[in-house]
Structure 1
Amino acid sequence: MHNETLLDIYRFIVEKGDNGICVVDSTGKLIIQNKKMRELQGISDEEFEKRRALEIVGFNMEKGGLLRVLQDQQPILNVKTTFWNQKGQEVTLISNMYPLYSQDELVGAVEFARDITQQENMMYQPLRRYNEPLTFEIITAVSAVMKKVIEKAKIVAYSRMPVVLVGESGTGIDMIAEGIHHELREKNDMFVTLICTRDEKSVQSQLEKYIVEKQKVTFFAERIEYLSMGVQEKIVELLEKHTEHNHVLIASVGEDPFDLIQKGQLSKELYRLFSDISIYVPALRNRKEDIMPFVEDYFNRHRESYGSVIKGLTEDVKEIFLNYNWPGNLKELEVLLDDISSLITNETLVEVHMLPAHFKWKIQNIESPKNRDITKSDIFVVMNKNDLRPLDIYMNEVEDYYISRALDLFDGNVSKTASALGIRRQSLQYRIKKYTESKTSPDERLE
């Protein structure tokens, strides 16, 4: 095969892949940035050509990612990054970056970026409340690192000092915050969550309403870096004005607060008010020994609430769970268990064929002998009687998977996806809403 033919094949693969790809040479000059990466960054083809002419490097280069790869000649894996692109859209990526060699000589670095924006938005939902106070005693974590997190959190509670909780969405930070509230020696009257990823005006008005209360309040400001600097400064004024009330202040951020301050996303004064101590809550992929206790606790509660006989996972499914990297952390695991348990009848163990189609698609590249039979072409194929399930459930699953993949291919753009599927935009929105509501418990829909 001729070199030109091979180049055409490589170009096709790079441009048609689902991952964003960025390549720089050994000096940091931008060589390749495929269409998917340009879409994620929100830049047009014309803007891309300008960047290339000015030798502007890829997004992660600005954060030291590709630069560190060039300097250290070592890969950097599973880097999670959230940013606002050129079109003002919030995007979350997981990137793998590698050095590139030709005849043992370093010639550049490459980044492969996977878009998990939709998944990340889902992970902002708090973990299930279980209709009881979230105390440290009901947190199922057994890893040494999480035991240290809880130990530090108890010290915070005993001293009533302000604290910043640092970690990715879905890790259980909201449980740690509420655990601190219930661990207070001198009990507070209320626990108020300020969800900063939503309307910042409502966050400010909530704070203004409760901060003047004579009752003692535990304020949990979730992801404060999403507030505009103007609102952050107003919150600083409010907190400094009402110090006499002895409220407890807890905040969370998604990454290192010093990096956020440098990038202008976090007010130094606001951080100072919360920063008597910082507690880092690790991602689930870095404490996989916490996976099975969470699963066991989930099914214990399922048996108590619904009278099911489910006991746990088969060894095959356990291995799949322990090899998967859980980018959505505990919240992703909980949502998956919700999907599985909704189909449980008289089964006592979850088997591979019971895993939802969307999850089978995610795990097909996991290097595990236990899931070698899961491929793109057979996730909906009925191989034996165990694969059979009610037709309406099967068809809904197929539709959900197909729409989810279509939305991924069009970066969540509803209009383009509806056009490609040959249906009206309103019809697609209805299907998305129906799918989203099916993943939410009745109690959550009432909140």
Structure 2
Amino acid sequence: MQHDTLLDIYKFIVEKGDNGICVVDTTGKLIIYNKKMRELQGISDEEFEKRRALEIVGFNMEKGGLLRVLQDERSILNEKKTFWNEKGQEVTLISNIYPLYSQEELVGAVEFARDITQQEFMMYQPLRRYNEPLTFEIITAVSAVMKKVIEKAKVVAYSRMPVILVGESGTGIDMIAEGIHHELKEKNDMFVTLICRRDEKTVLNQLEKYVVEKQNITFFAERIEYLSMEAQEKIVKLLETSTEHHHVFIASVGEDPIDLIQKGQLSKKLYRLFSDISIYVPALRNRKEDIMPFVEDYFKRHRESYGSVIKGLADDVKDIFLNYNWPGNLKELEVVLDDISSLITNEIFVEAHMLPAHFKWKIQNIESPKNEEMTQSDIFVVMNKNDLRPLDVYMSEVEDYYISRALDLFEGNVSKTASALGIRRQSLQYRIKKYTESKIATYEREE
């Protein structure tokens, strides 16, 4: 095939692919910036060509990672970043950035970016409500810290004070907010959630529409720090002018409000609305006694809904759950249980072989209460028929684990890792790419 024909094919693949692609040379000069990457940045083709003509790139978000790779000659894998593009849209990407070599000489760096905005948004969805009101009575938390949270929330409900809930996503803050609504002595007519991660114009329009209603409403502004300072000030004015109504206002933030004020992400005026009371909802890793009640409630509902006989977790799986830190909190736990439940037929207990593959990768190198390290290699031990899986799946898992450990040992240096494994650099990069795409596909199915 002729050189020009191959070049046309490469150009077509780059421009029509689903991944954003950005390539720079060793000086950081932009070489390739494909259509998908322009879409993610919210830049029109005309604007892009105008900037290139003027040599005004201005793509600092991508170039930051690319320049790090040029300096260190080390790949950056699975880097997640969230930003607002030039159209004012919130975008979340997972990027893999690699150094580029020609005849063993560094010539540039390339970034492959996959859009996971929708999947990321799904992770911020509330815990499942099971088509019933979320009252404090149905919250399964048994830890002392969560009992104090609920006691404090009941005080808020009794006094109808505005309150700010502080905690990580997935901790159940939305459940506390709705619990306050249902605990009100004088009941409100509606519970309205304002998702501040969305377009703030929509959030303000929602609030303006409902705040003048004759009905009494409980407003829950989820992650209010995502709104601009201007939007937060508008909310203050709206609430100050609606004193004749008997609304209740609840907001949540992801970290200490004082820190957010210092970083310019939270309005002082808005915070003063909540200065009387703040409720800190701890992460699941700090209240692990709440894990098993949540699991037991989940499987109780599974038995009732599907007629299964599942009772709970086997002892070794219980140890894993109690020793894992659950960075996604209760929401991550719910997603893992959803994956497990799809495999349930006539099992009585959830065995280790039923754990989803994406979760197995996360639990390597945690320690059991007996101080026995549960390593990734345990996944590959075949003890009984239940541990058997298709040979191609098994071999793929072994290869992924082996390469992952090798990269760790050489601190991500692809050249050294490839040399130690006795394969070409390009071959190793292909395997890394295949593994990464597999993980992303698993993540999307999980959502």
TM-score, normalised relative to structure 2? 0.64
1:45 counterpart = 2:77? no
Partner of 1:336: 336
Match of 1:282 in 2: 282
> Displacement of 1:258 after TM fit?
0.5
Deviation at 1:384, TM superposition (A): 3.0
Offset, 1:120: 6.8
Deviation sequence 1:372-412 (CA, Å, 0-9, x none): 696545646765311347999x79x98xx99xx9xxx9xxx
Does residue 1:222 correspond to 2:244, yes or no?
Answer: no
Which residue identity lines up with residue 238 of structure 2 in the other structure?
L
User: Within 5 A, what are the aligned runs for 1:372-383?
Assistant: 375-376=375-376, 379=379
The whole-number CA distance in structure 2 between the counterparts of 1:225 and 1:211 is 20
Matching residue's letter, 2:190: M
Q: Are the equivalent residues in 1 in contact too, given 2:173–2:281 (CA < 8 A)? A: yes
Q: Secondary structure at the match of 2:219?
A: strand
Counterpart AA for 2:329: N
Distance 2:351 2:345 in 1: 13
Residues 178-208 of structure 1 show CA distances to partners (whole Å, capped at 9, x for unaligned) of 0000000100000000011122111111111
CA drift at 1:90:
6.6
> What is the one-letter code of the residue matched to 1:321?
F
Residue of structure 2 equivalent to 1:268 = 268
**Structure 1 SS opposite 2:321:** helix
Q: CA distance change for structure 1 residues 434 and 207 in 2, over 3 Å: closer, same or farther?
A: farther
The structural deviation recorded for 1:234 is 1.4
Residues 41 and 85 in structure 1, CA contact (< 8 A), matched pair in contact too? no
Structure 1 residue runs of 5 or longer lacking an equivalent are 1-37, 50-80, 93-116, 410-418, 441-447
Alignment of 1:353-368 (within 5 A): 353-368=353-368
Task: Provide the residue aligned with 2:326 in structure 1.
Answer: 326
Q: How does 1:191-270 map to 2 (within 5 A)?
A: 191-270=191-270
- Deviation of the 1:43 alpha carbon: 5.0
**Letter in structure 2 aligned against 1:42:** G
In 2, the alpha carbon distance for the partners of 1:302 and 1:369 equals 29
For 1:198, give the aligned amino acid: R
CA–CA distance in 2 between the matches of 1:220 and 1:257?
A: 16
Structure 1 segment 365-444 matched on structure 2, within 5 A:
365-368=365-368, 375-376=375-376, 379=379, 384-388=384-388, 436=444, 438-439=445-446
For residues 65 and 217 of structure 2, the distance between their equivalents in structure 1, rounded to whole angstroms, comes to: 45
- Find out whether 1:292 has 2:314 as its counterpart: no
Q: CA deviation at 1:212?
A: 0.9
Cα offset, 1:301, TM superposition: 0.6
Q: Which of the pair has more CA radius of gyration?
A: 2
Query: After alignment, is 232-241 or 372-381 more displaced?
Result: 372-381
| Separation (CA, whole Å) in 2 of partners of 1:198 and 1:423 | 31
CA RMSD in angstroms, aligned pairs only: 4.0
CA contact (8 A) 1:135 1:183 kept: yes
Instruction: Work out whether residues 83 and 91 of structure 1, in 8 Å CA contact, stay in contact via their aligned partners in 2.
Output: yes
Q: What is the Cα deviation at residue 44 of structure 1?
A: 5.1
1:307 maps onto 2:307 in alignment? yes
Q: How far 1:48 sits from its partner (Å)?
A: 9.8
Shift of 1:314: 1.1
Q: Distance in 2 between matches of 1:311 and 1:432?
A: 31
Q: Distance in 2 between matches of 1:344 and 1:390?
A: 19
Contact 2:365–2:374 under 8 Å retained in 1: no
Q: Secondary structure at the match of 2:343?
A: coil
Matches within 5 A, 1:171-190: 171-190=171-190
Is 1:340–1:356's contact at 8 Å kept on the other side of the alignment?
yes
Q: Secondary structure at the match of 1:245?
A: coil
**What is the alpha-carbon distance in structure 1 between the residues aligned to residue 265 and residue 63 of structure 2?**
18
Aligned residue for 2:320, secondary structure, equals helix
Question: Residue deviations 1:84-126, cap 9 Å, x none?
Answer: 699997799xxxxxxxxxxxxxxxxxxxxxxxx9997553111
CA contact (8 A) 2:165 2:280 kept: yes
The residue number in structure 2 matching 1:69 is: none
**Correspondence for 2:139:** 139
Residues in 2 aligned to 1:47 and 1:337: alpha-carbon distance in whole angstroms: 38
- TM-score where L is the length of structure 1: 0.64
Q: Which amino acid aligns with 2:154?
A: K
**Deviation string for 1:195-225 (max 9, x for gaps)?**
1112211111111111111000000000000
- Taking the aligned partners of 1:210 and 1:183, their CA distance within structure 2 comes to 21
Gaps of 5+ in 2: 1-59, 72-79, 95-115, 405-411, 413-428
Moved over 2 A (4+): 38-49, 81-92, 117-123, 368-384, 387-392, 419-424, 431-436
SS in 1 for 2:367: coil
The 8 Å contact of residues 85 and 91 in structure 1, kept in 2 or not, is answered as: no
Tell me: CA distance 1:82–1:423, structure 2 relative to 1, closer, same or farther (3 Å). Answer: closer
CA shift for structure 1 position 313: 0.7
**C-alpha separation between the residues in 1 aligned to 2:68 and 2:336?**
41
SS at match of 1:128: coil
C-alpha contact (below 8 Å) 2:367/2:373 kept by paired residues: no
- What is the alpha-carbon distance in structure 2 between the residues aligned to residue 229 and residue 252 of structure 1? 16
Sequence identity, in percent? 76
Q: In structure 2, what is the Cα distance between the partners aligned to 1:42 and 1:340?
A: 39
Q: Is the 8 A contact 2:163 2:274 kept in 1?
A: yes
Matched pairs, number: 325
Residues 272 and 346 (structure 1), Cα distance of their counterparts in 2 relative to 1, 3 Å cut: same
**Alpha-carbon contact 1:163-1:277 (below 8 Å) kept:** yes
SS of alignment partner, residue 308 of structure 1: coil
Q: Give a deviation string over 1:283-311, Cα, whole Å, max 9, x none.
A: 01101111111110110011111111100
2 CA distance for matches of 1:207 and 1:148?
Answer: 31
SS at match of 1:238: helix
